Amino acid sequence: MRVDTDNMVPVTELQKKLTKKIRDVSESGEPVYVMKNNAVKAVIISVEEYQSLRDMEEVLEHFEIAEMVETRLAGHDRSRNISWEKIKEKHGL
C-alpha cells in the first residue's frame, strides 16, 4: 500500500481534530491515514471515493459471476436441458 505521509495522522491527534480532518477529506478528496503505534490502522476517505470503490466491487463481482457461468456452460450438454414447461408439469405448477 502506498501511503502519502503528509496525510498521516496519529489517532490521538485525530481525536482532537476530527471535524477539520473530515472537512479536509471532503474538500480535497485526499484520504487521511490514521496511525496507531506507528502503523496505519484505518483510512478516512470521501463519500465519492467510497462509492467509487463499492461500484468497482460490484463490477468485479459481475465479472466473477460471468466467468463462473461461462466455465459451467463450457461443459454443458444442451441436449439434456429440460424445458420450464416440463418442470412445471412435473410439479403440478
**pLDDT at residue 78 in the model:** 84
Angle at 12 between CA 11 and CA 16, to 5 degrees: 110
- For 11-61, the pLDDT digits (tens) are 888 788 888 888 999 999 999 999 888 899 999 999 999 999 999 999 999
pTM, entire model: 0.58
Q: Was domain 1-45 assigned CATH 3.40.1620.10? A: yes
**pLDDT at residue 3 in the model:** 65
Name the pLDDT band for 63 (thresholds 50, 70, 90): very high
Q: Where are the domains of the chain?
A: 1-45, 47-76
